[in-house]
Chains A and B, each alone.
Chain A
Amino acid sequence: MLRLHYNLEKVSMGLVVAIIVAASIGGIVEIAPLFTIDETVELPDDLRPHTPLELAGRHIYMREGCYACHSQMVRSLADELDRYGPYSLPSESAYDHPMLWGSKRTGPDLARVGGKYSDDWHARHLIDPRSVVPASIMPSYPWLRRPLDTELLRERLETLAKLGVPYDEAMIGASQADALAQSRPDGEGADAVRARYGEKVVIRDFDGDPSRLTELDALIAYLQSLGTLTDAPYTILKASSADIPDGDGHE
């Protein structure tokens, strides 16, 4: 055999340089595409950012570690498409900082869960999972009934705006009011939320308690928004074949 490595090991600095070169190749292959990500990942025209209430829910999702057991990425495998719907596109999480794809599925994938279950079911399931799914091993989150702290929402929107999420001045200014308005379908602010974030935003009293804005409101609003921020993924099945019905949002 070649004694290249044998001889290289005898020259310590040479070995160090060789290690750095070898490791860099792996690094470059992973990092280089990120420099052109703005051109390679096309943002769909209809992609909307999360509303302030959904954003607050997203922070609760992260705080409670939901991502540790639930992924938010339908993989490009036939069985996943069959069960969950169209596979996740990179553009879907373009406004997520950080993205919450996850990789561990102790529970089911949530990328397409928006609209699948009723708010009432989500509320019961989060407070006591076994009251609706007896075999569930998900922990209970009874403290989600406490009031939602909207104090930091403005800063969160500002931060995301700096990272390129299209929150404008009006959205940032009205973030706290919009968070409350999204849970009051009959309130005055509901139309303003729709005007800012689009007609498809779900405006409901998510936790069934109209008198208070709770963490449950925020988390359910977030869960109900998953997979609904853009229609782009639902067109991939449509484009390739008209006779595949699964998970298609546009029959």
Chain B
Amino acid sequence: MSDTTDPRKLPSADPHTGNRRVDPITGYDTTGHDWGGITELNTAFPKIVIWALALTFLYSLVAWILLPAWPLGRDYTRGILGLDQGEQAIEGLRELTDDRLPWLSRFSDGDLRALQSDAVLIRQAMPAAERLFEDNCSACHGATGRGGPGFPVLADGYWLWGDDPGGIAETIRFGINSDHADARIAEMPSFDWMARADRLALADYVARLPGAGPVHSSLPGAALFTENCAACHGDGGRGDLEAGAPSLTDDAVIYGQDRSTVMETLSRGRRGVMPAWIDRLSAAEINLLAIYVYRLGQPVGEGAQ
């Protein structure tokens, strides 16, 4: 094998043009490489690839003319179609919105209870409501509304702040303890100033409240409860729906109602936050979600289909 890179000096090459010997059997060029008598065919690049390449060149030429392409300092060639991805996206969003408008617009105002009993409308809207719920609510309240410690269960019949779709919509709109000016505000203060023995008695009393048992008015915690807790949680701990003070007599809990959790609640206080959704979702979407959430809390067969 020769050391030179000059094609004219390669074995079997024409000394003037550098073209090499043609293999008599295949009709192809040879590369000029020679390994002890074995030469190599200079097999041509497949035609189909050449054509594919040519087509891509052609496409790019067309694209340069039709679409935004070349940078020109402070501007760029706009292309004769004048397309703008941002405008296209907004146009696409408008089409999506228009598709939903016929049924979604019915949720923008009006009596949510009446809407809720419109079975046809509900059947049409619930798949969208479910997706909205999964996108926005399920992170805290769980995909099926089963909640978790600190995040209320929605899929039961127990409510705070309102037990109808209108009240729920209000909560979604402005949130609870959120940054919004119209947020629902509720805070369980810390009772860390109270003597530990009193707190223990109180925790014991509160832990015994749920269930159908008799009122334990003789317990040492009962008087403490009346004095400190009943203002918000009501006499006997029946709660105050409108003020967001949970009932302590039912089975529903947010953080837990065993002694140690109640002790923690008493020492640290609680101030759960639900963000306001008015800036993220439309009025109709919020109402739709409110109905969806309300239905989660209905016994199967009654509200759900």
Contact = CB atoms under 8 A, between A and B. Distances in A.
Which one of A85, A120, A124, A132 has the highest number of Cβ atoms from chain B below 10 Å of its Cβ? A132
B71 A33 contact: yes
A132 B279 contact: no
Interface of B: 5, 7, 18, 50, 70-71, 73-74, 76, 85-97, 135-136, 138-140, 142-143, 148, 150-151, 179, 272-275, 278-285
Contacts of A246: 93, 97, 280-282
Contacts of B74: 36, 39-40
Given A29-B71, A82-B93, A245-B281, A132 B86 contact: no
Interface string A64-95: 00000000000111111111010100000000
B15 to A, nearest CB: 14
25 contacts: A1-B50, A10-B7, A29-B71, A76-B89, A78-B90, A78-B96, A83-B135, A115-B179, A116-B280, A117-B140, A118-B272, A118-B274, A118-B275, A120-B272, A121-B151, A125-B139, A132-B148, A132-B151, A133-B139, A134-B142, A202-B179, A244-B90, A244-B93, A244-B94, A250-B279
A132 B151 CA distance: 9
A221 B89 CA distance: 31
B228 to A, nearest CB: 23
Interface of A: 1, 10, 12, 29, 32-33, 36, 39-40, 75-83, 85, 87, 115-121, 124-125, 131-135, 202, 236-237, 240-241, 243-251
B71 A82 contact: no
A165 to B, nearest CB: 23
A226 to B, nearest CB: 14
B150 A124 contact: yes
Contacts of A10: 7, 18
A1 B150 CA distance: 74
